[in-house]
Amino acid sequence: MKTPRLLQYLAYPQKITGPIIEAELRDVAIGELCEIRRGWHQKQVVARAQVVGLQRERTVLSLIGNAQGLTRDVVLYPTGRALSAWVGYSVLGAVLDPTGKIVERFTTEVAPISEERVIDVAPPPYASRVGVHEPLITGVRAIDGLLTCGVGQRMGIFASAGCGKTMLMHMLIEQTEADVFVIGLIGERGREVTEFVDMLRASHKKEKCVLVFATSDFPSVDRCNAAQLATTVAEYFRDQGKRVVLFIDSMTRYARALRDVALASGERPARRGYPASVFDNLPRLLERPGATGDGSITAFYTVLLESEEEADPMADEIRSILDGHLYLSRKLAGQGALPGY
């Protein structure tokens, strides 16, 4: 007897280990979303998962959220689409989770949602880009006077813990001349996210800001998606002709999240425990900002250094992709000069 077409696309989980699910799913693609339902005859969606790997017999998925409450009887249902989010002027002055859901607003005026966009897309082609011809006025004298940043450049802020990376981000948000500020807090502690939100509430630029967060307790795939979503929001406003400043704090934790997802999907570790796909995915994200004929995205990426003396392969890789580099000194920070530049 031939299996009904509907049942050909459904699968029970063969294995659930933390946020990772293995199932015999057919006709799915990397990055595809799958709904998790209580049973094949039920429509209630209790969770979602994203395809992160394809093995010989099984498909590897990473949960969006946690596995609490899932049983052997749940059913995975492929949706045929990748993770997307609604973007538009409605997200200005708002805090978003990794799925694009608005969890808090700083303003009472709400604009209509404009469009839905897939968050993991290729960088713009070189033909659509324009060169860096105009300086970005940051209001930070050490940057404007000595390390001038151009509109559309991608800058790295490299520092050890406690050197003032977050303080420098606050200064840039308050003083930089731009239309929109998009902040992605990736793998940060919940306390740090709370402090950043409190700062934005008191800022006179809160109506120009969008904050996307995935704290350290979020699953690895959520931390990856948060960085993608923040970049997607910035791209939307660039396409509207705006001058956008994007902050990702931090790229180190984003790379670690990529590593966790890759190892869970069965990849082998390579340099310093990082699978090869991590080094493929880094430029895919870092090349998305820049200036086009419509608008611009100037990006600042923080990079957490394990040591100022020892070589760090991940920091070296990120450094080689970015346009400019700002280094904060632990010695100056220890003397009370924050940020330590």
What pLDDT is attached to residue 331? 75
Judge residue 89's burial from the number of C-beta atoms within 10 Å of its C-beta, 0-12 exposed, 13-18 middle, 19 or more buried. middle
What pLDDT is attached to residue 109? 73
Is residue 212 within 8 A of residue 226, CB to CB? The reply is yes
Give 84-335's CATH code, choosing from 3.20.20.140, 3.40.50.12240, 3.90.1170.50, 3.40.50.620.
3.40.50.12240
What pLDDT is attached to residue 5? 45
What pLDDT is attached to residue 95? 96
Give the closest residue to 141 by CA, choosing from 182, 171, 162. Answer: 171
The CATH code belonging to domain 15-82 is 2.40.10.170
What pLDDT is attached to residue 17? 87
Q: What is the pLDDT along the chain (341 residues), one digit of tens a residue?
A: 444 444 457 899 999 988 899 999 988 999 999 999 988 777 889 999 999 988 888 899 999 987 788 888 899 999 999 999 999 999 999 999 999 999 999 887 777 778 899 999 999 999 999 989 999 999 998 898 888 999 999 999 998 887 878 889 999 999 999 999 999 999 999 999 999 999 999 999 999 999 999 999 999 999 999 999 999 999 999 999 999 999 999 899 999 999 999 998 888 988 778 999 999 999 999 999 999 988 999 999 999 887 666 667 888 999 999 999 998 877 776 666 667 55
Query: Which residue intervals of the chain are DSSP H helices?
Result: 5-8, 141-146, 165-175, 190-202, 220-239, 251-264, 276-286, 313-321, 330-334
Q: Concatenated DSSP letters for 44-103? A: -EEEEEEEEEE-SS-EEEEEES--TT--TT-EEEEEEEE-EEEESGGGTTEEE-TTS-EE
What pLDDT is attached to residue 300? 97
For the record, the structure tokens of 268 come out as 């082998």
| Statement: the pTM of the whole predicted model exceeds 0.85 | yes
For 98-148, the pLDDT digits (tens) are 999 999 998 877 777 788 999 999 999 999 999 899 999 999 988 988 889
What pLDDT is attached to residue 164? 78
Q: What are the residue boundaries of the structural domains of the chain, listed by start?
A: 15-82, 84-335
